[in-house]
């Protein structure tokens, strides 16, 4: 099966893609394009999947660059393939042609950035903690250090968990209200004391407040479409021991 790659007009003409799980070599709960070396999938399958993604991005496998994601607000500037062990961070930026910046997700937001005029791109892994702590703004700061202008920068949130599938507890709400009482608008009532959180809506708000030229969400929910997307929360609800990771990438 060929790879399925979602794109956005906001990032055109730069080569980029939010890859679905379709077209990979993994099997079982990882069936498809699992690109997570931190999963318990066969390492050979993950390596092959990442090679296919690199080929689609038209870069050598070693130039499909990802970091050890830790739900931080750390953004790194990259100008060459990273050594092992990979640095702990959750975003990367580059002005170097031929490097594809890649993030792995399974419900968290993959966010791709581009200032095509300046020749600077970025990629961020933004779960609720990273978004709350400022990983999106850190990515824009790092891009501007390379000559980008956020007023020219487009940012696109790829497949992520939607509000209807993201049930959280009252202490979760408290964290967001402590940051800004207006964040209450990203929560809806769930069952009992549970709330439903709008992660992509919150991400778009942070991006727009940060001053990007354009921002959008592709409007794909990872939880609700098991044929196309891996989902940590869905795997947990189904009692699965592990889950696959989707890859999203952008390059100059």
* Residue 24: per-residue pLDDT: 96
Which of these, 52, 15, 16, 17, lies nearest to 33 by C-alpha position? 52
**Cβ–Cβ < 8 Å for 43, 37:** yes
| C-alpha distance across the termini of the chain, in Å | 27
The answer to whether residue 9 is domain-embedded is yes
Going by the DSSP 8-state scheme, the letter that residue 147 receives in this structure is: T
* Residue 9: per-residue pLDDT: 98
The answer to whether residue 245 is domain-embedded is yes
Q: Which residue's entry shows tokens 């979760």?
A: 172
Report how many domains make up the chain: 1
Whole-number Å distance between alpha carbons of 126 and 212: 16
Whole-number Å distance between alpha carbons of 197 and 193: 13
Domain of 239, in residue numbers: 5-162+198-251
Q: Nearest 10 degrees: CA dihedral of 176, 179, 180, 184? A: 10
The answer to whether residue 122 is domain-embedded is yes
The answer to whether residue 172 is domain-embedded is no
The answer to whether residue 205 is domain-embedded is yes
The answer to whether residue 171 is domain-embedded is no
Whole-number Å distance between alpha carbons of 39 and 26: 11
The answer to whether residue 186 is domain-embedded is no
* Residue 235: per-residue pLDDT: 98
Q: Which residues of the chain have pLDDT under 70?
A: none
* Residue 111: per-residue pLDDT: 99
The answer to whether residue 96 is domain-embedded is yes
Residue 147 maps to which CATH number?
3.60.140.10
């Amino acid at each position: 099966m060929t790879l399925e790659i979602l794109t956005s007009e906001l990032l055109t003409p730069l080569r980029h893609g939010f890859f679905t799980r379709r077209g990979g070599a993994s099997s079982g709960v990882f069936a498809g394009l699992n690109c997570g070396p931190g999963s318990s999938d066969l390492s050979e399958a993950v390596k092959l999947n990442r090679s296919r993604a690199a080929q689609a991005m038209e870069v050598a496998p070693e130039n499909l660059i990802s970091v050890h994601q830790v739900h931080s607000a750390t953004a790194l500037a990259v100008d060459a393939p990273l050594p092992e062990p990979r640095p702990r961070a959750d975003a990367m930026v580059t002005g170097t042609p031929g490097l594809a910046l890649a993030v792995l997700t399974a419900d968290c937001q993959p966010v791709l950035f581009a200032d095509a005029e300046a020749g600077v791109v970025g990629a961020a892994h933004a779960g609720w903690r990273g978004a709350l702590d400022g990983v999106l703004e850190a990515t824009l700061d790092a891009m501007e250090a390379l000559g980008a202008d956020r007023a020219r920068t487009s940012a696109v949130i790829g497949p992520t968990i939607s509000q209807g599938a993201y049930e959280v507890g009252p202490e979760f709400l408290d964290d967001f209200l402590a940051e800004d009482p207006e964040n209450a608008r990203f929560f809806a009532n769930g069952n009992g004391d549970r709330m439903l959180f709008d992660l992509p809506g919150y991400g778009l708000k942070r991006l727009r407040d940060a001053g990007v030229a354009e921002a959008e969400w592709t409007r794909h929910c990872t939880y609700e479409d098991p044929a196309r997307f891996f989902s940590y929360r869905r795997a947990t609800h189904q009692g699965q021991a592990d889950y696959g990771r989707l890859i999203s990438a952008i390059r100059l």
